[in-house]
Amino acid sequence: MVFLTRRSRFNAAHKLWVKDWSDEKNMEIFGKCANPNFHGHNYTLYVTVKGEPDPVTGMLINAKDLAAIIKGEVIDKLDHKNLNLDVPFIPEGMQTTCENLAIVIWQRIHPKIQQCQLHCVRLEETENIYTEYFG
């Protein structure tokens, strides 16, 4: 078994907020991410696939194909967007946390990976925190 990872970057705005809570409670729980007029993050996305290399090409998946899937399914849809408002596949009311975004990104990419298996979606929200989702 061998693993292959592609890194991508995007930036986007979001806000974490529970409508039924007071402003004070939202600020207490979500901190700066509850800023009423949104704020941005520079996200780094790592998509890892796994399997056995093809005996002829030596590849798990053609890196160009993997790049095109990630770009088409995720980056083009999220980059420079407001994650709370602009993205049709992010359900209304879903908290746009790193955790939930990793799951949504997995769901976008997973059906498109045919040649090998999707292993992990890792999403870094800042240099100090990230999530990993394994399906």
Local structure of residue 21 (DSSP, 8 states): S
Which residue is catalytic, options 28, 39, 80, 110? 80
Q: Is 92 marked active-site?
A: no
Q: Is 14 marked active-site?
A: no
Q: Is 120 marked active-site?
A: no
Question: Which DSSP helix (H) or strand (E) runs through 66?
Answer: helix 63-70
For the bound state, the minimum distance from the C-beta of residue 42 to Ni ion, rounded and expressed in Å, comes to 11
For the bound state, the minimum distance from the C-beta of residue 14 to Ni ion, rounded and expressed in Å, comes to 6
Q: Which is nearer to Ni ion, 83 or 109 (CB)?
A: 83
- Tokens 């693993």 belong to 3
For the bound state, the minimum distance from the C-beta of residue 13 to Ni ion, rounded and expressed in Å, comes to 9
Alpha-carbon gap, residue 34 to 20, rounded angstroms:
13
Give me the residue whose beta carbon is nearest to Ni ion. 33
Q: Which is nearer to Ni ion, 33 or 87 (CB)?
A: 33
Residues forming the site for Ni ion (CB under 5 A)? 33
- Cα dihedral sign for 71, 73, 74, 80? positive
Distance set, CA 12 to CA 22, 104, 117 (Å): 25, 15, 28
Query: Active-site residue numbers?
Result: 33, 80, 125
